[in-house]
Amino acid sequence: MSAQDEVERFSGQGPGGEDFADIAQRAFDLARTGDSDRLEAYLSAGLPVDLATGSGDSLLMLAAYHGHAATVAALAARGADVNALNDRGQSPLAGAVFKGSAAVVEQLLKLGADPDAGQPSARQTAAMFDRVGLHPDLG
């Protein structure tokens, strides 16, 4: 099924439709793979920008953790919360620091991510995993 077909199906069903779980899972996968264009189509059709998995990982968190700076920027431009914590109290910035993604760390900080948000915070994560050199704001 093409992205357009999926979007049309979503538009027809709406968030209360029986296919919403499948559509949400596809959106999570798009965030993980950095497919910003298809993810944008879902968001344009009405998918909530701060949609999160059962463990509280937002679309932005998934994109950040998997190293997709452009997708992080696209989601933030649509209003995604760059400081949204998951159910374990982790921030997207801490996830990007843990993974060692300098491009995502830079993007999130540029977008206003708080290096002290969450537990452990991005600063604490940088110290624990010797990643302070990823960005001057982490020291």
pLDDT in tens, 33-52: 999 999 999 999 889 999 99
Q: Is residue 93 within 8 Å of residue 124, measured between CB atoms?
A: no
User: Among 20-24, 27-31, 66-70, 101-105, where is mean pLDDT lowest?
Assistant: 20-24
Determine the pLDDT at residue 7.
Answer: 58
Q: Which two tokens stand for residue 100?
A: 């060692």
Task: Tell me the pTM.
Answer: 0.88
Determine the pLDDT at residue 20.
Answer: 81
pLDDT tens digits for range 43-89:
998 899 999 999 999 999 999 999 999 999 999 999 999 999 999 99
Domain spans, the chain: 3-138
CATH number of the domain located at residue range(s) 3-138 in this protein: 1.25.40.20
